Copies of this chain bind each other. A is one copy, B any other.
Amino acid sequence: MFLEKINCPNDLKSLNTKELQELAKEMRAALLHRLSKKGGHFGPNFGMVEVTIALHYVFESPKDKFVFDVSHQSYPHKMLTGRKDAYLYEEHFNDISGYTNPQESEHDFFNVGHTSTSISLASGLVKARDLKGEHENIIAIIGDGSLSGGEALEGLDFASELNSNFIIVVNDNDMSIAENHGGLYKNLRNLRESNGTCECNLFRAMGLDYAYQKDGNDIEKLIETFEKVKNIDHPIVVHINTQKGKGYKIAEENKENWHYCAPFEVETGKPIKAISGENYSTLTCNYLLEKMKQDPKVVAIIAGTPKTIGFTEEKRKLAGKQFVDVGIAEEHAVAMASGIAKNGGKPIFATSSSFLQRTYDQLSQDLCINNNPATILVNGASVYGMNDVTHLGIFDIPFISNIPNMVYLAPTSKQEYFAMLDWSIEQNEHPVAIRIPGNGVISDKRKVDTSYDKINQYKIQETGSQVAILAVGDFYQLGENIVKTLKEKLGVVPTLINPRYISGLDKKLLEELKANHELVITLEDGMLEGGFGEKIASYYGTSNIKVKNYGIAKSFPDRYVADELLRQNGISVEQIIEDIEKFLK
């Protein structure tokens, strides 16, 4: 086995072509081993095996520097840079993250998980190299799907100004997560079909030199291609046609479903754990499809991740022109939603909390200053969301709720979520964001309101005294548990409040609490700093009411266990009851 002997990129330089091809096979087997057992990004890595071998064969990492865009195609790179054990041996699976990570290896330069950043990050390496008068190669590796993102296009446009060695490898597998959307993909197709010769060329139009390699899974040809551009004295795009999922037939045939995989049976491709029970993606999709039938003005928008709200290929067909995938282009999505709302449509844009960060200014400028009634669905905005440092969903309350005019809603049950969503779609007064609950689909018997017109009116769910608990969104159930334990253990009957609106204060209710409460507790499933609880603390700042805020302290936790993280932040029924007990003494 060759792979076992590769401890650094140098170790593959003595191999001949046939041996390198053998190595590629071993690497795919190792990928299959890890991914079938642990899950992860599948298609991008299977497609990139040969490109990665050729890159490490030709260049001298880490002196020469690779920057992988989004880096979910960096597994082969990890294998060749001292981290093969994490693919070969189950006991080492957790040694590594799913993305490039400078804490893991000197061959990685950035923690990367959002798309479209590689060209800009790498151009910084280029600029610093030039200022220092050094001469290594800097190579950005970006997939076609990531090219539609604003940051990638800004980087591509700026690259030609650098005027020195800079190699941008475009890994074109003719797919984003789902199919690509955007006019530039027609140009990529024309380039592929003309073997890179067609005159109209996006990259040349951006001022860059250009080379094409149609055999993106042929090591020999790739080595030849990279040898030609090594030590080049100006920026160049090397456009390579690879096959997503290459080498695993089931993935080759269903690229969208095999972009990312859960653990699966290698022979059949079937997931090992069947997903059961309700989930908000499917429920939201079905609700929206029904809504679309009733009203042609309803339109769902997503940015490259259709399944975030359950839009499988089949359901996208059902929605027809009432479904828009803008590609990876969140900024465009929010601005377009604002325009649709302005002209009488009913847009719903859905993405994850982490990716919504990419469109903060559009939320503020394009949407909220204009006060257009678009709906934003925020997925994974929870400590229970994705736990990679680059995909954390815990920052949404600070960055969304503090934008003026935005009504940010936190439903506490399935019934409340759909009531809020329905209200939002039908109202004409406010930009509205809704936090999709992160703690599973919970139904209960509480009656929910159908109108949310009375902005910032909180709801008292249980009336008590001494202690009031403001339990936001999917921490409502935590609030219920605290109430129960307080009654049982301390004989205290607290007031339980469902704030519903994260973006403002119900000052009337907060005033009324003063009459017979001493302590107000806030519970929010997200970062404390800049969040909901601090506003309550500020409101009561000069009063005799004491306030204790619970949430995650400002930090970038990585690959955490949710319950552990919560406990570290003092968030569990036991810890909170203990705090209250101390206070009431």
Interface residues of A (CB under 8 A from B): 65, 67, 102, 109-114, 117, 120-133, 148-151, 153-161, 181-187, 199-202, 204-208, 296-297, 299, 321-322, 324, 326-327, 329, 331-332, 335-345, 347, 357-362, 364-366, 368-370, 389-390, 395, 398-399, 401-405, 519, 527-531, 533-535, 537-538, 540-542, 546-549, 554-556, 583
Contacts and interface: CB of A to CB of B under 8 A. Distances in A.
B554 A402 contact: yes
Nearest to A391: B365
B398 A398 contact: yes
Given A161-B181, A547-B541, A335 B121 contact: yes
Given A158-B182, A541-B547, 4 more contacts: A120-B335, A125-B339, A132-B296, A151-B332
A321 B131 contact: yes
Contacts of A365: 112-114, 117, 357, 390
B186 A322 contact: no
Contact of A542 (B357, B390, B527, B546): B546
Given A200-B199, A404-B555, A542-B546, A327 B157 contact: yes
Contact of A339 (B124, B160, B202): B124
A149 B583 CA distance: 53
A153 B150 contact: yes
A357 to B, nearest CB: 4
Nearest to A394: B404
Copy tally for this chain in the complex stands at 2
7 closest A-B pairs by beta carbon, nearest first, are: A124-B339, A183-B207, A150-B150, A160-B183, A120-B335, A128-B343, A128-B345
A369 B121 CA distance: 13
A335 B120 CA distance: 5
B535 A541 contact: no
Contacts of A125: 339-340, 342-343
Nearest to A328: B154
Contact of A157 (B329, B358, B519, B530): B329
A110 B181 CA distance: 26
28 contacts: A111-B369, A120-B335, A120-B336, A121-B338, A121-B366, A124-B335, A124-B341, A124-B342, A125-B342, A127-B339, A128-B342, A128-B343, A129-B343, A131-B296, A150-B153, A154-B331, A157-B183, A157-B184, A158-B183, A160-B182, A183-B205, A183-B206, A184-B207, A202-B206, A369-B556, A404-B556, A519-B542, A542-B547
Given A534-B535, A549-B541, A132 B395 contact: no
